[in-house]
């Protein structure tokens, strides 16, 4: 049976890059954001139930994320209703991915892991982290978010310090080489534990 390692971290901490490092070390990697994109795409499992609940959110047979954001902004109860539709579908996608893989370690890249209580279903959690000033610089350098948008996203996420305290492993993403060394060390510990079991 595969070891299920949750990978999480706040915006701009280097989670996607770190997920790729795990993939390069032979892990199967499931991406929660990619799963949601599949569910929202034309023919995706979330399209019909979202259309039933929020008809204006579906355009050309796919969920329009911009319209969904606008609905959430206008309706305080919308987010909970959307999550009630999407979270079970994401869980099904994740379970199917795990069942179809033979990797000794499966990394589950889940941005809102602690926010959704997802750590309960995992064997361990790794949190990516970097100094706050580096985090801010990375996010703003993307050019897709204003400083106010960044602060809004941060306010919805469990603080980095709390994530670090709750995690089994912390990966400092200050440099690519340092992050890669930490990924390899974590995998060595997990794989040694499996050998000792």
Domain boundary among 57, 86, 102: 102
Alpha helix positions (H), 29-109: 32-40, 47-53, 65-74, 78-100
91 and 115 together in one domain? no
The domain that holds 10 is classified in CATH as: 3.40.50.300
Q: Which residues contact 152 (CB under 8 A, 6 or more apart)?
A: none
Q: Quick one: how far is CA 51 from the chain centroid?
A: 24
Domain boundary among 102, 124, 155: 102
124 and 97 together in one domain? no
**Number of domain units in the chain:** 2
Q: Tell me which residue of 130, 108, 119 sits closest to 167, measured CA to CA.
A: 119
Q: φ, ψ for residue 31 (rounded to 5)?
A: -115, 115
Give the whole-number percent of the chain exceeding pLDDT 90. 81
Tell which phi-psi region holds residue 50, choosing left (phi > 0), alpha (psi between -120 and 50) or beta: alpha
73 and 87 together in one domain? yes
Predicted confidence band of residue 186 (pLDDT cuts 50, 70, 90): very high
- 135-151: pLDDT as tens digits: 999 999 998 888 988 98
109 and 74 together in one domain? no
- 24-50: pLDDT as tens digits: 999 999 999 999 999 999 999 999 999
pLDDT of residue 194: 66
90 and 159 together in one domain? no
Structural domain boundaries enclosing 144 = 1-27+105-197
121 and 194 together in one domain? yes
pLDDT of residue 133: 94
- 56-82: pLDDT as tens digits: 999 999 999 999 989 988 998 999 999
Instruction: Kindly tell me if the per-residue pLDDT of 170 is higher than 60.
Output: yes
Buried b (16+ CB within 10 A) or exposed e, 67-88: ebeebbeeeeebeebbeebbee
Domain boundary among 87, 102, 117: 102
Q: Tell me which residue of 64, 1, 32, 21 sits closest to 171, measured CA to CA.
A: 21
Predicted confidence band of residue 116 (pLDDT cuts 50, 70, 90): confident
17 and 45 together in one domain? no
SS (H, E, C) 124-170: EEEEEECCHHHHHHHHHHCCCCCHHHHHHHHHHCCCHHHHHHHCCEE
1 and 71 together in one domain? no
pLDDT of residue 145: 86
119 and 60 together in one domain? no
111 and 195 together in one domain? yes
78 and 67 together in one domain? yes
- Mean pLDDT computed over every residue of the chain: 93
19 and 65 together in one domain? no
Lowest mean pLDDT, pick from 16-20, 142-146, 170-174: 142-146
d(Cα 82, Cα 87) in Å, to the nearest integer?
Answer: 8
pLDDT of residue 152: 86
């Amino acid at each position: 049976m595969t070891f299920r390692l949750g990978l999480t971290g706040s915006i701009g901490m280097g989670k996607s890059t770190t997920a790729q490092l795990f993939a390069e070390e032979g892990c199967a990697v499931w991406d929660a954001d990619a799963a949601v994109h599949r569910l929202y795409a034309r023919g995706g499992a979330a399209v019909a139930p979202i259309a039933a609940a929020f008809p204006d959110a579906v355009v050309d047979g796919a969920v329009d994320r911009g319209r969904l954001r606008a609905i959430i902004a206008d309706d305080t109860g919308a987010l909970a209703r959307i999550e009630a539709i999407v979270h079970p579908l994401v869980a099904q996608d994740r379970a199917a991915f795990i069942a179809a893989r033979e990797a000794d370690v499966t990394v589950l890249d889940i941005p809102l892991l602690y926010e959704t209580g997802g750590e309960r279903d995992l064997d361990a959690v790794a949190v990516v982290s970097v100094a706050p000033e580096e985090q801010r610089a990375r996010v703003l350098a993307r050019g897709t978010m204003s400083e106010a948008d960044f602060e809004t996203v941060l306010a919805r996420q469990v603080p980095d310090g709390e994530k670090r305290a709750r995690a089994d492993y912390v990966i400092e993403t200050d440099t690519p080489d340092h992050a890669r060394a930490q990924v390899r060390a974590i995998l060595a510990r997990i794989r040694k534990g499996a050998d000792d079991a």
